[in-house]
Every structure is written in C-alpha cells, then in structure tokens.
A and B are shown apart, each in its own frame.
Chain A
Amino acid sequence: MFPRPIEQTSAPAQWLYRIAVPVALILWLLPLIGVAVTSVRPASDLAQGNYFGMPSSLAFSNYRDVFANSPMGAYMLNSFKVTIPTVIGAVALSCMTGFALAIYRFRSNLLVFFLFVAGNFVPFQILMVPVRDLTLHLGMYNSWYGLALFHIAFQTGFCTLFMRNFIKALPFELIEAARVEGVSEVRIFWYVVLPLMRPAIAALSVLIFTFIWNDFFWATVLSNSPESQPITAGLSSLNGQWIAQWHLVSAGSILAAVPPVAMFFLMQRHFIAGLTLGAVK
C-alpha cells in the first residue's frame, strides 16, 4: 500500500485524517454546494444581497418556474433523444469494429485501428464546417437525428479503441475452439464473443451517455431552436435571458447535471472501469 495505511499511524493522526477528508471534500465541492443552495433560494434573497448566507426559505418553486417559463422540459427531452440513440449506435458499431480488429490478423489491421484512435483525438473545429454543411444538405440540420448521427460516427473512434482492447484481453482459445467445430464467424461474434462483452458494453454505455449529454459544441453547431436543442445549448441561451436571475440559472444548471450524475451513481463501477481501462495494465 502507498501511502502507508492510516491505521498504522498514531491515534491523533488518524483522527486528524478522518476530519481532514470531509473538510477537503466540502471545500472541493463548495462551488457545487453553492449552486445547489442558490437553486432553492427565493428571488427576494438575491434582491436583498443575500447571495451566500442561509436562504430565508426553501424555494423549490424556482424549479417549477424554470419548467413553466422556459422550454427546459423540451431541452431535456431533446438531450435524451440525442443521447440514447447515440449510445446504442456507437456501442453497436464499435462491438463489430472492435471484434474485427481484435480477432483477425490482416495487413492493414493496425493502420485501421490507429485511424480510429487518431480520429478520436482530432479537434472538433476541423470537422465543423464540412459536417455542418453535410447535415444541412441531408436536411437534418436542427434535428435530433442529425446530431445523433454525427455523435455515433465520432464516438465510434473512442469506442473502437475501447472494445478492441477489451476483446484482445479475452481468451482467444474460445474462438479457436469454436472455429474447429465449424462455427461461422458471424455466429462466433454473436454467440461466443458478444456475451463476454457485457461489462464492456455497460461501461461504454455510461461513458458515452455522459459525454454526449454534456456535449455543447455540436449542440451549438448543429441545432438552433428549442425544438431540437439539447440542454447544454439550451442552458447557454437561457443564461442570456436570465440576466442576474441566478436562482433560475442555478436551478437550470442542477437540472442539466442530474441525469449524468444519476447515471454515474447508479453505474459507478462500470463508469470507473470504463474510464480507467488502459490506465493500468
């Protein structure tokens, strides 16, 4: 263990540590706590300059106001409409590409693999003008599927890297045994490999969900009205309208943060497994 386990130190040091951790946590999350408190602060508090003290009462009505006076509900729905198909599409495509690159030896294998890896690191801006043009020409500008199609394609890069490394670590003997028995390649993929990929699929799904939910750049480039804008772009435009109404901005922020945070808490194990794949060998 590094550092030395705290149990091996003196009693005062142990106590100190037990206090230090929660104190550090509160300091670390102070910005978030501040916003959470502000989101239930009545507007009158802000008007009187009570920005950081205790709220005079809990105004959950801020959340009601957000839903009633802005298209927040539509924004959230749009985010789901973009995010869920993207998760399904990107994971499905990368199961196949990952399988192909991990199992078969062919000459351009590494080349294709590194094409995916490199593409995944590319700055968005180099894609912006052509992708926007393509989406316009396909008549998909300002629609959830226009956004989802792009996200599926782009995320395939990262997902392929992930899936390929995962499948590479599976015991190859299973596949050889199936081949000896004359099982077709498609059936090997479907019946032998896919069932073993469940943890990877789960991990990728949560990761991609978070990435896409939080995407702001493409949401601004490929959509521009509440009928199709996801919540990140929506929140940004609402921020322009809610000048000085920090209680509404905060409530909107919390709403935008809830789905990925919930996803993270529910699927924590998979999430961290996904993020750290490759960080340890």
Chain B
Amino acid sequence: MTDFWKSNQRRIAPWLFLAPGLFMFAVYVIIPIFQSLWISLYDWDGLGAKVWIGTANYVELWDDDAFYTSLKNNVIWLILYLLAVPAGLFIAIFLNQTITGMRLYKSLFFFPFVISQVVVGLIFSWFYAPDFGLFYKLIELLTGQSIAILADDRFVTYGIIAAGLWPQIAYVMILYLTGLNNVAPDQIEAARLDGAKGWRMLWYVVLPQLRPATFIAVVVTVIGALRSFDLVSIMTDGGPYGSSRVLSFYMYEQALSEYGYRMGYGAAIAVVLFAIMMVFISGFIWKMWRDESER
C-alpha cells in the first residue's frame, strides 16, 4: 500500500486534490446543465408528472412575442453595456494622477461596484420616480415633458441599463487603473519625444499595453449584460406590459413567478440563453487556451 502510494503519488495526488471541488462543481453546475437540456423537452409544472413533448417548447418559443422582446432587449443591453469599457477607461485616465487624497478618491469612485444590485436598483427607481424623482424633475425642467422612465416602453430598458452601467463603469475603471499603473514609462517617454500626444498616444502606445485589462473588461461586461436579472426584477418586474424583459428574467418568470410554473418552457429559454453565452464563452476560452499554449 505505502509502496504503491510512494511510487504513484504524483499521479494520484492531483485527483485527490481535485476530487472534492470537482464533485461539488459536477453536482451543482455540470450535471444541472444537462438536466436543463433534458427538462426543456418536457411539459412540466413542477408539481405533477413530466410529459414528454419533444421540441414543442422550442417551437412555441419560435412564435412567442415575449421571447423576441427579451431577445431584442438583450441585444440592446449587450451593446450599451459595452459603453462601460470606454467610460471606465476615460475615468481611469482622468484619475490616474498623484495629487493628495487620490487613493481615497479612487476607492470612492469604485463604491458603486461593491453595493448590491438590489440596492442600485432601488436607488435608481427612486431617482426615476414620477412626480418627485430627481431625474424626473430634471427631464421635466429640460424638455417640459414629464416622463415616467420605468413606465414608458420607449425608455424603460435604457433606464435600467443606465442603472447597470453605474457599477459596471466603476468595475472597468479599477481594471484600467491597475493597467495604467503597469504601462511602461520608458515607452511613453520615447513616444513623447517622437511628438506623440493625446489621442494618438492613447491609441498607438497606451491601449496596446492595456490589452489584458481590456480583455478582462470586455469579458466581465458581456457576461454581466447577459446575466442582467437583478435590476430588471427590482426596478420593473419586466414591465410595463413586459417591455423590459430580458431572457434571464423571462426564464425566471416562466418557471417560478406567481403566474409561471412552466418549468419545461423556462428551461428551453435558459437553453437558448446558454447557447448565446456559449458563443462568447468559447471565444474567451479559445483566447485563454492560445495564451496558455504560448507560454
């Protein structure tokens, strides 16, 4: 026994170390993904027996207006959420100085990211609140129109995204601040001697060096945009009349909300969301894989 362990321990040890983590991860993450794929082929209310209906849930999705509303909103989320990347970069550059108290300023700028999205959602709902909300008053003052952002199907998604951008910009900012810290000063100086400054300096000299930070920023922003559930749930509950739904929320609504309990249909929506995410995840993994092999 001991001999066997001694001669083979370097082959066995990694699996011993991996076992508990892999077990938990398999039970709660890997296997459920396949279970969801399976459930999406059933009609199931979570109470009675599951009824096999094959691809009927997907056929229904194909003709479901609410699904397309959610999909459209997800695209809007994805595009607008990516604004956090340039905005975060801009604030990071603005703050990348060494005046007294800068450390404190930087951490205070980072604040919104630390706070729960539930709280962020409540804060912004209050900002947008009709009749007395600060933002509502501001719009009234500027345009003379009174608009209840969260009850207007034209603006509601943008209003929620604005709330989501607040913490996301803070996150991206901190990524870039660290990145800027590590930009090679000699290259900057050399470029400066060559007469580069402003935009050209940023574009040709600084940004290439910030590439790792940009990669992480894009990854977390894309994932964040597709995962957006908390804010929609807190601020509008998908309303008015379902116009601010996103896929992650629509899935929850179908499966678990008061009028829901269509587990199979919910699972089918989740599978579609998963497929969309997989496109991005595969991209990230492919890039990381390449980086690993280069080492």
Given contacts A128-B270, A268-B107, A280-B213, are A18 and B99 in contact (CB under 8 A)?
A: yes
Q: How far is the CB of A276 from chain B (nearest CB, A)?
A: 4
Within 107-146 of B, Cβ neighbours of A (below 8 Å) are at 107-112, 114-119, 122-124, 126-127, 132-134
Given contacts A214-B116, A236-B118, are A276 and B97 in contact (CB under 8 A)?
A: no
Bound-state Cα–Cα, A51 to B127, Å: 11
A264-B274 in contact (CB<8A): no
Closest-by-CB residue of A relative to B11 is A106
Interface assignment of B95: CB less than 8 Å from any CB of chain A: yes
Residues of A within 8 A of B217 (CB): 279
Bound-state Cα–Cα, A125 to B111, Å: 28
Given contacts A121-B284, A184-B9, are A156 and B115 in contact (CB under 8 A)?
A: no
Bound-state Cα–Cα, A19 to B96, Å: 15
A130-B95 in contact (CB<8A): no
Q: How far is the CB of B214 from chain A (nearest CB, A)?
A: 9
Select the residue from A22, A93, A110 with max chain B CB neighbours within 10 A.
A93
Q: How far is the CB of A237 from chain B (nearest CB, A)?
A: 11
26 contacting pairs across A/B (C-beta < 8 A): A2-B96, A2-B183, A21-B99, A35-B123, A35-B126, A97-B17, A104-B13, A116-B25, A123-B270, A123-B277, A125-B229, A125-B270, A125-B273, A126-B36, A127-B33, A130-B31, A149-B24, A210-B114, A217-B230, A217-B252, A232-B118, A249-B122, A256-B119, A260-B115, A275-B174, A276-B179
Within 246-276 of A, Cβ neighbours of B (below 8 Å) are at 246, 249-250, 253, 256-257, 260-261, 263-265, 268, 272, 275-276
Q: Which of B56-64, B76-84, B147-155, B261-269 contacts A (4 or more CB under 8 A)?
A: B261-269
Report the count of interface residues on A (CB-CB < 8 A): 97
Residues of B within 8 A of A232 (CB): 116, 118
A112-B22 in contact (CB<8A): yes
Given contacts A114-B285, A210-B114, are A128 and B10 in contact (CB under 8 A)?
A: no
Interface assignment of A60: CB less than 8 Å from any CB of chain B: no
Interface assignment of A160: CB less than 8 Å from any CB of chain B: yes
Closest-by-CB residue of B relative to A26 is B108
Q: Scan A1-44; emit 1 where CB is below 8 A from any B CB, else 0.
A: 11111110000000001100110110011011011001000000
Select the residue from B14, B35, B217 with max chain A CB neighbours within 10 A.
B14
A17-B126 in contact (CB<8A): no
Q: How far is the CB of B222 from chain A (nearest CB, A)?
A: 9
Chain A residues within CB distance 8 Å of chain B: 1-7, 17-18, 21-22, 24-25, 28-29, 31-32, 34-35, 38, 49, 51-52, 93-94, 96-97, 99-101, 103-104, 106, 109-110, 112, 114-119, 121-132, 134, 149-150, 152-154, 156-157, 160, 184-186, 189, 210, 213-214, 216-217, 220-221, 232, 235-236, 239, 246, 249-250, 253, 256-257, 260-261, 263-265, 268, 272, 275-276, 278-281
Q: Given known contacts A123-B226, A156-B21, A280-B182, what 4 new A-B pairs fall within 8 Å (CB)?
A: A121-B277, A134-B27, A156-B24, A263-B114
B99-A29 in contact (CB<8A): no
Q: Scan B205-247; emit 1 where CB is below 8 A from any A CB, else 0.
A: 1100000110011010001001101100110000000000001
Bound-state Cα–Cα, A123 to B117, Å: 17
Within 1-45 of B, Cβ neighbours of A (below 8 Å) are at 9-11, 13-15, 17-18, 20-22, 24-25, 27-33, 35-36, 39
A122-B33 in contact (CB<8A): yes
B127-A153 in contact (CB<8A): no
Residues of B within 8 A of A100 (CB): 13-15, 17-18
Bound-state Cα–Cα, A263 to B247, Å: 33
A96-B18 in contact (CB<8A): yes
Q: How far is the CB of B205 from chain A (nearest CB, A)?
A: 8
Bound-state Cα–Cα, A275 to B6, Å: 39
Residues of A within 8 A of B219 (CB): 121
Closest-by-CB residue of B relative to A168 is B295
A153-B17 in contact (CB<8A): no
Residues of B within 8 A of A132 (CB): 256
Q: How far is the CB of A251 from chain B (nearest CB, A)?
A: 11
Within 161-184 of B, Cβ neighbours of A (below 8 Å) are at 166, 171, 174-175, 178-183
